[in-house]
């Protein structure tokens, strides 16, 4: 496989960009990149009933976000164009029509005038008779030229169907599975051109893959049943078929095909939840490919070094969000502080003003699986927090570009996704906490003990030099000594202080947070808490 491959991903713009599109794009692009070929984006927008106007732009955005930009593809939305355009099927209609006419002229296809109700009745009869063959019976195959002409003259709607060989076994090949044969008599003559003049997937795909010089069709496993049609179509045209390689379907934990109910499928969901594109790409690479020594974390460059289409693993890969969550945390920890700061800023920008999108979901709309359910509930809350605060964070950040960097080391270890920063960032931007008296009294603490702890800590801090390089260690030691003197354990001793400083009982490391806030702000927060507890 050293000749340059021309490969494509061919999504239909029918809704949110799908994680399956990214998965196919990754393997196709890897094939192009490892052979010095070209990766093409083709928009399959011939199903006008399912067309969603904004979807194409979102596909572009999602591929760009993942760094899976096509070498050729539609123009617009920053698309590259290319020598085999147009790359939108709706702009290629005359070619499909011509191709269908050519097949009719060669006697390989025919016009079928059977109306929908005839086909329905036919199906019902076949079902009632428990027929082995359910589908179109080929009635119009036998129409005489005059009958066709008369029907056309009468303006009768019609489709064009391919004449499938019914007496033969139809031999097909898949790169991973070898030969797959189908019984001709069990196949119905497929529609190529619909009554509205639009092609079906079968015709458009074959015409385009041929015209665009596609060498390898790397697509989802669910298309295997259509292979006999596609091989027959290539035969009918007299064209060489490309190599077909059907990638395994991504599966939910229960092995069913990946579905919205059991796994998020929209790429926008992954971006909004703060997954890093490089982590998602790595994860998708694991769904069908193994690196030597089961190396789990790899860059796209490392993936390419090892990539060989023939080595794709077709056992149904499980899309385990919990694993992606772990992997994303690993990627976050590997970013240097400046880079993580940049990603957080981007994420804040992405969230600005979007709180309303992330209302809590009612129980029956939440995913069933425990990890995903907890994750989704948390993510919604975190997105609201970040959405509400993002504009303020951005304004402060523009005024003081050194604002976020000192916070990064305090939170890096704790993040698995960017949106989880919502649990740690707010305290650095507001001291307006909605705390309760009870919050200051953790286990093994008393209301009086809490006030005493706050006072003692305030006194220690008032004397501390925040600019001294050893200040963290000396504060740690002073707090420990004071808690012992008061007969309190360090946890309950610092509990109320944490609430006073951060507004929460879980926070980034306390002393480091105080140092980031600065002495004045820290003392002010302690004073606020003491006043509140009055």
Minimum distance from residue 63 beta carbon to ligand GLU (Å): 14
Minimum distance from residue 307 beta carbon to ligand GLU (Å): 19
The answer to whether residue 190 forms part of the interface with ligand GLU (CB under 6 A) is: no
**CA-CA distance, 492 to 482, in Å (whole number)?**
12
Minimum distance from residue 14 beta carbon to ligand GLU (Å): 8
The answer to whether residue 12 forms part of the interface with ligand GLU (CB under 6 A) is: yes
**CA-CA distance, 325 to 337, in Å (whole number)?**
20
Closest to 244 measured CA to CA, from 273, 299, 205, 199:
205
Site size toward ligand GLU (CB under 6 A) is 6
Instruction: Choose the binding region for ligand GLU from 10-18, 100-108, 369-377, 426-434 (rule: CB under 6 A).
Output: 10-18
Tokens representing residue 431 in the block: 């001291």
The answer to whether residue 219 forms part of the interface with ligand GLU (CB under 6 A) is: yes
> Which of 5, 6, 7, 10 is in the footprint of ligand GLU by CB under 6 A?
10
Minimum distance from residue 59 beta carbon to ligand GLU (Å): 10
Tokens representing residue 508 in the block: 């980034």
Report which residue's Cβ sits closest to ligand GLU.
219
Which residues does residue 247 pair with via DSSP β-bridges, in sequence order? Answer: 220
191-193 and 159-162: which strand pairing?
antiparallel
Q: What is the DSSP letter of 17?
A: P
> Which of 148, 205, 415, 516 is in the footprint of ligand GLU by CB under 6 A?
205
C-beta of residue 472 within 8 angstroms of C-beta of residue 515 = yes
Task: List active site positions.
Answer: 260
Closer by beta carbon to ligand GLU, 209 or else 369: 209
The answer to whether residue 279 forms part of the interface with ligand GLU (CB under 6 A) is: no
Closer by beta carbon to ligand GLU, 90 or else 126: 90
What is the length of the chain? 534
- Helix, strand, or coil (residue 315): coil
The answer to whether residue 507 forms part of the interface with ligand GLU (CB under 6 A) is: no
**CA-CA distance, 200 to 48, in Å (whole number)?**
11
Closer by beta carbon to ligand GLU, 12 or else 187: 12
Taking the alpha carbons at both ends of the chain, their separation in whole angstroms is: 77
Minimum distance from residue 197 beta carbon to ligand GLU (Å): 19
Instruction: Choose the binding region for ligand GLU from 6-14, 340-348, 378-386, 506-514 (rule: CB under 6 A).
Output: 6-14
**CA-CA distance, 497 to 491, in Å (whole number)?**
10
Closer by beta carbon to ligand GLU, 61 or else 221: 221
Site string for ligand GLU, 41-70 (x = CB under 6 A): ---x--------------------------
Minimum distance from residue 380 beta carbon to ligand GLU (Å): 29
Tokens representing residue 372 in the block: 């995903």
> Which of 11, 496, 503, 508 is in the footprint of ligand GLU by CB under 6 A?
11
Closer by beta carbon to ligand GLU, 13 or else 367: 13
79-81 and 73-76: which strand pairing?
antiparallel
- Token pair 């529609």 is at which residue? 191
**CA-CA distance, 20 to 264, in Å (whole number)?**
11
Minimum distance from residue 514 beta carbon to ligand GLU (Å): 54
Instruction: Choose the binding region for ligand GLU from 5-13, 325-333, 402-410, 476-484 (rule: CB under 6 A).
Output: 5-13
Distances (CA, A) of 474 to 463, 469, 508, 523: 11, 10, 19, 17
Closest to 343 measured CA to CA, from 254, 421, 442, 266:
421
Distances (CA, A) of 460 to 40, 466, 501: 65, 11, 15
Residues within the interface to ligand GLU (CB under 6 A): 10-12, 44, 205, 219
């Amino acid at each position: 496989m050293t000749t340059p491959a021309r490969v494509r991903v061919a999504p239909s713009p029918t809704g949110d960009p799908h994680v399956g599109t990214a998965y196919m794009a990754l393997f196709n692009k890897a094939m192009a990149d490892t052979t010095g070929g070209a990766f093409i984006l083709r928009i399959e927008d011939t199903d006008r009933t399912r067309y969603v106007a904004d979807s194409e732009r979102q596909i572009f955005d999602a591929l760009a976000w993942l760094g899976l930009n096509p070498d050729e593809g539609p123009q617009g939305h920053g698309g590259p164009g290319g020598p085999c355009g147009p790359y939108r099927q709706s702009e290629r209609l005359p070619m499909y029509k011509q191709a269908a006419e050519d097949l009719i002229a060669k006697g390989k296809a025919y016009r079928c005038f059977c109306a929908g109700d005839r086909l329905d009745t036919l199906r019902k009869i076949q079902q009632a008779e428990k027929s082995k063959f359910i589908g179109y019976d080929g009635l119009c195959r036998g129409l005489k030229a005059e009958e066709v002409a008369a029907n056309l003259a009468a303006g009768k709607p019609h489709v064009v169907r391919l004449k499938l060989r019914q007496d033969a076994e139809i031999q097909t090949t898949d790169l991973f599975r070898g030969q797959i044969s189908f019984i001709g008599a069990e196949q119905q003559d497929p529609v190529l051109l619909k009554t509205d003049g639009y092609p079906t997937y079968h015709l458009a795909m074959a015409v385009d893959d041929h015209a665009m010089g596609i060498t390898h069709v790397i697509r989802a496993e669910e298309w295997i049943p259509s292979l006999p049609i596609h091989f027959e179509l290539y035969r009918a045209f007299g064209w060489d078929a490309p190599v077909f390689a059907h990638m395994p379907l991504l599966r939910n934990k229960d092995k069913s095909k990946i579905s919205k109910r059991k796994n998020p499928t929209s790429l926008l969901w992954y971006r909004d939840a703060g997954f890093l594109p490089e982590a998602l790409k790595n994860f998708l690479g694991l769904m069908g490919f193994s690196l030597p020594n089961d190396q789990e974390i790899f860059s796209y460059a490392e993936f390419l070094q090892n990539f060989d289409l023939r080595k794709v693993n077709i056992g149904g890969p499980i899309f385990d969000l919990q694993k992606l969550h772990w992997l994303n945390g690993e990627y976050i920890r590997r970013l240097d502080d400046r880079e993580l700061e940049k990603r957080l800023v981007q994420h804040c920008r992405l969230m600005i003003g979007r709180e309303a999108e992330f209302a809590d979901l009612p129980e029956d709309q939440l995913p069933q699986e425990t990890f995903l359910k907890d994750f989704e509930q948390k993510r919604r809350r975190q997105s609201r927090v970040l959405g509400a605060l993002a504009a303020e964070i951005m304004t402060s950040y523009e005024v003081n570009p050194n604002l976020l960097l000192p916070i990064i080391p305090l939170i890096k270890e704790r993040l698995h996704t960017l949106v989880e920063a919502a649990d740690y960032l707010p305290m650095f931007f507001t001291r307006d906490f909605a705390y309760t008296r009870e919050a200051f009294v953790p286990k093994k603490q008393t209301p009086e003990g809490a006030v005493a702890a706050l006072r003692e800590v305030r006194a220690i801090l008032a004397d501390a030099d925040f600019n001294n390089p050893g200040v963290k260690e000396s504060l740690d030691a002073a707090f420990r000594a004071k808690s012992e003197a008061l007969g309190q354990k360090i946890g309950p001793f610092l509990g109320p202080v944490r609430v006073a400083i951060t507004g929460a009982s879980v926070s980034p490391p306390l002393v480091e947070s105080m140092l980031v806030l600065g002495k004045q702000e820290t003392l002010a927060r302690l004073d606020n808490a003491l006043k509140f507890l009055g």
